[in-house]
Chain A
Amino acid sequence: SYELTQPPSVSVSPGQTARITCSGDALPKQYAYWYQQKPGQAPVLVIYKDSERPSGIPERFSGSSSGTTVTLTISGVQAEDEADYYCQSADSSGTVVFGGGTKLTVL
C-alpha cells in the first residue's frame, strides 16, 4: 500500500524556520495537502495543492514540491505553531493517505 513518509519530530527555536518534509512515490503526479493539529482539536488545513494557502492561514506558512518530496515551511516560527503536522495525498489510483505526522516543538 502507498505510504507518505514524514520525520517524527522537528524542533526549532522561536523566530527560526521550520521545514517538515513528506516523501512519496506518487507526489510528482499528485498534489499534497498539509494539516496542523493541536492537542484536543480537529485538524486545520494550512496548505493545499502543494503550495496554496487557504484564507486565514498566516503568510509564514508555505509549501513547496520537488520530485518525490514536498515540504511545509514555517518562517518565523511562533510558540503557537507547536503542533502535529500531517501531509495528505493520493496514489496513482486515487487512494487517499495521510503521512504519519510530525510533531513540531518550539524550543
Chain B
Amino acid sequence: QVQLVQSGAEVKKPGASVKVSCKASGYTFTSYDINWVRQATGQGLEWMGWMNPNSGNTGYAQKFQGRVTMTRNTSISTAYMELSSLRSEDTAVYYCARGAGYMVRGVSDYWGQGTLVTVSS
C-alpha cells in the first residue's frame, strides 16, 4: 500500500531553516510528483510546490520562491522540503503528498501524516 512517512516535529528559532523529510513506499517513487502543502493551526490548506522525483524539476508557489527548496534522494525514495529564514508565521503542519497525475499539477491522492514545525524564540 502507498505510504508517505514524514519526519518528526521540529522547533526552530526565527531566522533558522528547517528540513522535513518524506519517505515513500508502496509505489515507484520516481513515477509520481511529490507535493508539499502546509496548514497553520485552525487555518486552511496552503499549497507550497511540487517536485518531480525523476528529473528533480520543481515548481514553487510564488509566495515561497527564494525560501523553499525541494529535493530528493531516489536511492532511498525520500523527498525533502527545506524552508529558510523562518518566521513565526511559518508555524504550521507541513504535509507531503503524492501527485495524482491529473491535469492540475499539485493535486494529491496520498498524504503523509504531517510534520509540525514550530517557530519560536
Contacts and interface: CB of A to CB of B under 8 A. Distances in A.
A binds B: yes
Interface of A: 1, 30-31, 33, 35, 37, 42-45, 48-49, 54, 84, 86, 88-90, 94-101
7 contacts: A31-B103, A42-B112, A49-B103, A90-B106, A96-B47, A100-B44, A101-B44
Interface of B: 37, 44-47, 50, 61-62, 95, 97, 100, 102-109, 111-114
A89 B114 CA distance: 22
A45 B105 contact: no
Nearest to B4: A42
Contacts of A31: 102-104
B22 to A, nearest CB: 12
A48 B100 contact: yes
Nearest to B109: A45
B44 A88 contact: no
Nearest to A89: B104
Contacts of B108: 43, 45
B47 A98 contact: yes
A49 B102 contact: yes
